[in-house]
Amino acid sequence: MENSFGSFLKQKRLEKGMTQKELSKLLFVSESAVSKWEKDIAHPDITLLPKISELLGVTEHELITASIDNHAREEKVQAKKWRVFSLSWSLFFYISYGVALIPCFICNIAINHTLSWFWIVLSSLLLAFTFTNLPGIIKRYKLIFLPLSNFLALCILLAICAIYTEGDWFWIVFLSVLLGMVIIFTPIYIAKYDAFSKVKRFGDFVSIGIDFIMLNILLIAINIYTGGSWWYITVALPIVAYIYLALNLIISVRLFKTNRFFKTSIILLLVDVFMYIPPLLLKVQNPSVQEGINGANIFKADFSNWTVDVTLENNIHCIVFLTILATSLVLLIPGLVRHSKRNSIK
């Protein structure tokens, strides 16, 4: 049988070792009022519920329903444990960072009479801080602020290392890290945030376009940094543009209004074609690059010769080419069947 409000109130009062008179004094009501509550003749004013709950050690919900909510209490206990764990985790890293920084500071001053490599240690710990402690500090827009914080902390570390080593490589590394961030997070942001609602449908193409621009900026910077011939125009740009075109054509297949078998078949066929056919026709001025391209010539395969040389490589690539082609043709049959059935129904 379920407890009534009065019996529940009396049970909890007795558990606390209080008399009706003691409880009435704490609530500033008469003893007879408490007696009526426990006999279910009357009920306390709603404004008294918070104070009664506090005195009896129950929640307002438990008081109103006259039952102990074990699930809610367990959740409360687990939440408290998690808060203690989070606080302990944060304190552990704060103390660890302090223990690491103070000796490094003293040693750098004592040995070098100035602060030099200490800044590398400090920036390294700052980067670690963005992974360990900062996620607990940032409450909103974590997907934006956390990667940005990681990126900025890493750039600070790289800049300090470049200054310490007197190197001029910082901008190359900066652009490389930025390219990695763009490749990873651009499609995520386009898919998640409403600010990109107008381009969500073509998010893949937008992402690849941004990656293409960033990659070319990086390649130009590397070409300028390394000096010498302008290989970006003669080698890098044609290859990158070719890959960009291939990716866009492959991704565009998903826009076709047909079944998955047919789409997968077309994608595999395009992958096969773009991997092995046009590279054989690509001519570049760099001999080593041209040799690498011609090294995977499927038309020069010789399955009677498996010696460890160029023939072996051609044989392996030819097998891969034929396997992808066969898979594409196998999937094409059910794809065409389903496509024809769909058209006949219409």
Nearest to 206 by CA among 225, 187, 192, 221: 187
Is residue 94 within 8 Å of 86, Cβ to Cβ?
A: no
pLDDT score of 326: 93
At a CB cut-off of 8 Å and minimum separation 6, what does 339 contact?
Answer: 258, 259, 262
The half-sphere exposure of 104 on its side-chain side, counting CA atoms within 13 A, is 17
Residue with token string 């390219």? 179
The one-letter code for the residue type at 87 is: L
The one-letter code for the residue type at 250 is: I
User: Whole-structure pTM over 0.75, yes or no?
Assistant: no
User: What phi and psi, each to the nearest 5 degrees, are found at residue 139?
Assistant: -100, -30
* Ranges of residues in the chain whose predicted pLDDT is under 50: 1, 284-294
Is residue 203 within 8 Å of 193, Cβ to Cβ?
A: no
Mind listing the pLDDT tens digit for each residue in 308-335?
Answer: 777 788 888 889 989 999 999 999 888 8
Tokens of 148: 């940005």
pLDDT score of 173: 94
**Rounded distance between C-alpha atoms, residue 109 and residue 96, angstroms:** 20
pLDDT score of 1: 44
